[in-house]
């Protein structure tokens, strides 16, 4: 999501990450935290915007593998997510859903958390306080987090005893800042540990593009149809470089353990699945500010279309060439190498090789387009393809402007 810190045509996005350790001192999980800037010490807010920001940034800006590797991720959820009013846009595999202590436990929350548990999500009770009503979720919880800094330690024995009556529950001792608090955790055999005494949160920062708000609206509309048109959905996503990259990063999570690697936007959409694509699109609407500058989008789209146009003559697949054009174009905007960008996605070998080493027919496509864009001698025969690419990308952005004026 957008922050005030920006470079031209890009934005800086952030997510906090605090390790959770086991008794051996090994990192077994990370709690992902909202951070509005790279030097923010505390979260500052725990609302739906903050949760949405963490989800969007962790899963589609960084990629969950970049943030946490193969470790579990604890993510705070507000009431809207717990009751199903806002759907979660990812599968249960790598996440633990934290029920914030500020959530009032009523029938709707119990029903929602029950449904999430039955769907395979692990549940954690954050900053648990005895008598708060959250004990109604003990039968569903895999983790109970106890604040040993500011929590009510008067009922600690009672809470630990209740947790031990549920064999599935592991206790996370959190906000550990002193040797005394560590000793309390040891005395009660609390399985997991988190706090400044062990490790401060890190703030991860990356430069990013922001998808066009109009494209997101258009995408949600297409996805909300009774009979969604897959080709139209792919066209909308492919017409916005930032959307394309977010879908690719989301597919990275879906690709875990998957034999296939993606070589086109269409494959990425199919891998993630239309229900999850729709949920990501809705979540992105919490972004307060519209997309990146139109001229930067135009440049990336023109490059991608030019790659697509010259692919056939060089023996490359047009849809793979379009994807390679988007990734290499965005890499230039973000001032990183195409190889660095390629590492973030579950790309087919030929696409990855073209971006990393410039090999294969796709590598030839990228070199030809680079040469034309650099005005090198002998590349004027691409002028017709380039003019088509300009017309196509201009029409794509004009369509968004007409939608805005409607």
Boundaries of every domain in the chain: 11-205, 213-405
pLDDT above 90 covers what percent of the chain? Answer: 35
pLDDT above 70 covers what percent of the chain? Answer: 76
Which tens digits make up the pLDDT trace of 257-282?
Answer: 555 677 888 888 888 888 788 767 76
Helices (H), 194-273: 213-223, 230-238, 241-254, 265-272
* Higher-pLDDT residue of 14, 176: 176
354 band by pLDDT with thresholds 50, 70 and 90: very high
- Please give the CATH topology (third level) of the domain spanning 11-205: TIM Barrel (3.20.20)
At residue 392, the pLDDT reads 82
Pairing label, strands 143-147, 95-99:
unpaired
Residue 21, pLDDT > 50, answer: yes
> d(Cα 142, Cα 359) in Å, to the nearest integer?
48
Which tens digits make up the pLDDT trace of 382-392?
Answer: 888 999 988 88
Beta-ladder partners of 72: 29
Give Cα separations from 99 to 28, 105, 344 (angstroms).
20, 10, 30
7 band by pLDDT with thresholds 50, 70 and 90: very low
CB 14 within 8 A of CB 38: yes
Beta-ladder partners of 20: 29
At residue 204, the pLDDT reads 76
Which tens digits make up the pLDDT trace of 208-247?
Answer: 666 665 567 577 667 756 688 898 888 888 888 878 888 8
């Amino acid at each position: 999501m957008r922050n005030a810190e920006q470079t031209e045509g890009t934005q800086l996005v952030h997510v906090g990450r605090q390790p959770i350790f086991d008794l051996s001192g090994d990192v077994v999980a990370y709690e992902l935290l909202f951070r509005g800037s790279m030097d923010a010490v505390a979260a500052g807010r725990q609302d739906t915007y903050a949760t949405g920001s963490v989800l969007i940034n962790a899963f589609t800006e960084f990629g969950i593998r970049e943030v946490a590797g193969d470790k579990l991720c604890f993510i705070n959820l507000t009431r809207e997510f717990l009751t199903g009013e806002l759907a979660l846009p990812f599968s249960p595999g790598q996440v633990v859903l934290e029920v914030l202590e500020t959530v009032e436990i009523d029938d709707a929350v119990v029903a929602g958390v029950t449904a999430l548990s039955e769907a395979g999500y692990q549940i954690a009770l954050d900053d648990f306080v005895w008598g708060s009503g959250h004990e109604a979720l003990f039968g569903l919880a895999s983790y109970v987090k106890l604040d040993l800094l500011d929590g009510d330690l008067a009922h600690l024995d009672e809470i630990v005893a209740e947790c031990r009556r549920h064999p599935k529950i592991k206790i996370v001792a959190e906000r550990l800042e002193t040797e005394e608090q560590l000793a309390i955790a040891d005395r009660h055999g609390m399985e997991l540990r988190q706090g400044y005494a062990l490790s401060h949160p890190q703030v991860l920062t990356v430069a990013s593009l922001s998808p066009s708000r109009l494209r997101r609206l258009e995408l949600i509309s297409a996805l909300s149809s009774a009979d969604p048109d897959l080709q139209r959905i792919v066209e909308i996503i492919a017409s916005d470089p930032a959307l394309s990259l977010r879908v690719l990063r989301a597919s990275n999570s879906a690709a875990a353990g998957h034999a296939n690697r993606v070589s086109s936007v269409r494959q990425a959409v199919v891998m993630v699945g239309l229900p999850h694509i729709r949920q990501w699109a809705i979540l992105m609407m919490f972004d307060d500010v519209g997309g990146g500058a139109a001229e930067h989008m135009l440049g990336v789209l023109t490059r991608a279309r030019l790659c697509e146009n010259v692919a056939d003559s060089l023996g490359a697949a047009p849809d793979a060439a379009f994807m390679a054009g988007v990734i290499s174009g965005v890499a230039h905007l973000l001032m990183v190498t195409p190889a660095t960008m390629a590492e973030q996605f579950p790309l087919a070998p030929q696409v990855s090789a073209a971006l990393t080493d410039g090999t294969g027919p796709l590598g030839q496509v990228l070199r030809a387009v680079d040469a034309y864009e650099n005005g090198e001698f002998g590349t004027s025969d691409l002028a017709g393809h380039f003019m088509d690419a300009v017309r196509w990308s201009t029409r794509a952005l004009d369509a968004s402007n007409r939608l805005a004026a409607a």
